[in-house]
Amino acid sequence: MKQNDIETRMATAKIIDHLSFGVTLIASHERVKQELCNATYSILGAKDSIPIDQLVWTKLSYIFGDYHPYDTSFDAAEELIIQKSFFDHMWDISLVEMMNHINYESWEQFDWQKTTEMLNLANKEHTNELRSYQHAYRIEFDGVLSLFNEQLIQIFKEAYKAGYNNDEINNKKKSKNEKLKQFAQLVRTLHIGASCHAAVRWDQKRQLNGNDLLDFHHAEAALGYCDLFLTEKPLKVLVSQEHLGLRELFSCSVESSASEGLKILNMCKI
């Protein structure tokens, strides 16, 4: 949606349709909530949870949630038929087709640059408080996790009602830092995002810009759930820094050149 030219915008949509087969990750905030749920039950000792990798994908037309006609004037049997037909129709709709129905004039663009200016100012004010990259990471992770406090509390309540207890959380064999690390790495989206922001904060010569925030969202999705991340060189360098540990934790290949990316795609027989 950042592309103002209709031709390049539609060309991008066609490429996405071709490469994605209409499959996409669910929205970031929904992905985080699912990760928090899986992470909590995993730490509480659940053995039968559906793997997170199977819960974060959807069809393009359902990126904003599942929906279908309901409370219609038809009887229950006819309404069910309509709902099934509508689901089948939406299942096959392409991004190009969706783009043809979007009113671009009314689409409000978020001011990412203004946000980064505020973040840079705040980072500068607290520069002297940072003791290490790990300290910066903890601040970033705790901050973004706090945005999901209500959801996390609800997850714990439901888990306890289901019979799970906090014996594993209170496991004396693990230190507080080990427990945090285990939990953080299970919440992939927050962990990757916090790592990227902490890396920028620890590199005091670097300033965030509007594109960085979008790039970090791309990294959260790609590193956490994809086999290959094609991006620009600065972001590849950032996520590949050894002290972040992202390349070691996640098996996603990261490439910034078309030739190297093509090599990997050919190896995958895509």
Residue 222 lies in a domain: yes
Span 171-182, mean pLDDT? 74
Identity of residue 115: T
| Phi, psi for 25 (deg, rounded to 5) | -75, 150
Q: Please tell me the distance from the alpha carbon of residue 72 to that of residue 83, in angstroms, as a whole number.
A: 10
Span 94-99, mean pLDDT? 88
Residues 6+ apart with CB under 8 A from 27: 63, 64
CB of 239 closer than 8 Å to CB of 202: no
pLDDT in tens, 209-233: 989 999 999 999 999 999 999 999 9
- Angstrom distances, CA of residue 62 to CA of 90, 99, 153: 8, 14, 27
Domain range spanning residue 238?
6-64+109-267
Residues 6+ apart with CB under 8 A from 141: 184, 190, 191, 194, 198
Residue 250 lies in a domain: yes
Of 41-45, 63-67, 113-117, 255-259, which gets the smallest average pLDDT?
Answer: 63-67
Residue 76 lies in a domain: no
CB of 39 closer than 8 Å to CB of 187: yes
Which has more confidence, 92 or 170? 92
pLDDT in tens, 185-204: 899 999 999 999 999 999 98
pLDDT in tens, 255-266: 999 888 888 888
Q: Whole-structure pTM over 0.95, yes or no? A: no
- Residue in 158, 119, 120 with CA at minimum distance from that of residue 41: 158
Residue 99 lies in a domain: no
Tracing tokens 């038809």 back to the chain, one arrives at: 74
Task: Check whether 107 has a pLDDT greater than 90.
Answer: no
Residue 15 lies in a domain: yes
Span 45-71, mean pLDDT? 87
Count of domains for the chain: 1
Residue 247 lies in a domain: yes
Given this model, what pLDDT does residue 2 score? 67
Residue 98 lies in a domain: no
Residue 53 lies in a domain: yes
